[in-house]
Amino acid sequence: MKETREAIVEVSNLSKKYGLTVALDGVDIKFPQGELTALIGPNGSGKTTLLKILAGLTYPDQGRVKTIDRAPDRINKERFAFLPENDYLYSWMKLEYLIEFFARQYTSFDRSKAYQMTKDMNLKPEQKISDLSKGMRARFKLVLSLSRDVLLYILDEPLAGIDPQSRSYILENLNLEFARGESSVILSTHEVLESEKFFDYVIMLGDDRVQLEGYADDLRREHDLSLQELTREVFA
């Protein structure tokens, strides 16, 4: 077994209801520091709710949240990057406008890195958000998130609904960026296939709570299964 590192994010006894629907029910999780943690679960398992709470966009009914070392408040939002699942970019903006906008809003934003990554991802700064395809938009969302020099990246379904080409492109870029620094990544996904070799730590969320967690290679050895197969078994 690999020794457990310090936690970058810690939630305890977290509960959240939407009307009568329970999204999270007394969840305790420690996300290890310096690792790429995959939050795996089927749609509706509470992944998005959990990540929104970690990023300070939604508030729990009960429980405590510590993102890096404090509640995810306004000051803390400068210290982590959050990539939401949906199209959250103003559709009338050009890519260069968004890069400038982010550079003005976040002191941790690296403008030249953003332009470089935009180029690397085969996007043009003078394109408009509304003119991008779904895969291009997903790539640009990643550009904006990874261009911030922060300790923690929270990425909600960065691969969902994207063509396989863009997907492997995004994964390789994410890995490249991750290999560069001391930061931690939390990434949620409902499919594991191509991405599993990039994961360090895996948390499987289902039925409003944690079903299984551990280091990816430890889980593979214990169960003699790939994460893909293990996911299928856990959520069967």
Partner 1 sequence: MGIHYDTSRPIYEQIIEYVVKKLASGKLEAGDKLPSQRNLAQELNVNPNTVQRAYREMELQGLVETKRGLGTFVTESEARIREISQELSQNIITEFVEQMRFLGYEDCEISSRLEKTLNQDQ
Partner 2 sequence: MALISLWKKELREISFSGLALLLLSAAFYVFLYYQARPGTIQIILGVIYLPFIIYPLFLLFQGYRTFSREWREKTIFLLKSLPRSGYEIVLAKFLAAAVVLIILMAASSTGIYLIISHNFTAVSQVLPPEFAALNWGAVLGWGLAVYFWLCGFAYFTAQLSSLTSRFFNRFRWLVTLLVFYLVNYLTFRLAGYLGWLFDWLPDVQHFVIRQTEEAAGLIEVSGGGLAAAALILLIMFVVSSLLLERTLEV
Measured CA to CA, the distance from residue 213 to residue 199 in angstroms comes to: 12
Estimate the crossing angle of helix 95-105 against helix 134-146, to 10 degrees: 30
H/E stretch holding 80 = strand 80-83
Note the Cα 119 to chain centre separation in Å. Answer: 22
Q: Identify which of residues 80 and 169 has a Cβ nearer to partner 2 in the complex.
A: 80
Q: Parallel, antiparallel, or unpaired for β 36-40 and 201-206?
A: parallel
Q: Identify which of residues 129 and 219 has a Cβ nearer to partner 2 in the complex.
A: 129
Residues 131-150 that bind partner 2 (CB under 8 A): none
Q: Identify which of residues 35 and 156 has a Cβ nearer to partner 2 in the complex.
A: 156
126 forms part of the interface with partner 2 (CB under 8 A): no
Q: Identify which of residues 69 and 222 has a Cβ nearer to partner 1 in the complex.
A: 222
86 forms part of the interface with partner 2 (CB under 8 A): yes
**Smallest separation, CB 108 to partner 1 (Å):** 22
The pair of structure tokens assigned to 76 is 């803390």
Place of tokens 């408040």: 73
* Residues belonging to the chain: 236
Residues 6+ apart with CB under 8 A from 97: none
Q: Identify which of residues 6 and 224 has a Cβ nearer to partner 1 in the complex.
A: 224
Estimate the crossing angle of helix 164-180 against helix 134-146, to 10 degrees: 10
Which of partner 1, partner 2, none does residue 78 bind (CB under 5 to 8 Å by kind)? partner 2
Binding-site size for partner 2 (CB under 8 A) equals 26
101 forms part of the interface with partner 2 (CB under 8 A): yes
Q: Identify which of residues 25 and 100 has a Cβ nearer to partner 2 in the complex.
A: 100
CB 187 within 8 A of CB 141: no
Which of partner 2, partner 1, none does residue 55 bind (CB under 5 to 8 Å by kind)? partner 2
Task: Kindly report the number of other CB atoms within 10 A of residue 18's CB atom.
Answer: 10
Measured CA to CA, the distance from residue 76 to residue 7 in angstroms comes to: 16
The pair of structure tokens assigned to 40 is 């795996």
Binding site for partner 1 (CB under 8 A): 2, 34-36, 172, 175-176, 178-180, 196-200, 216-218, 220-221, 224-229
Q: Show the binding pattern over residues 3-22: x = contacts partner 2 (CB under 8 A), - = does not.
A: ----------------x---
Which of partner 1, partner 2, none does residue 227 bind (CB under 5 to 8 Å by kind)? partner 1
CB 234 within 8 A of CB 211: yes
Contact residues for partner 2 (CB under 8 A)? 19, 52, 55-59, 74-78, 82, 84, 86-92, 100-101, 104-106
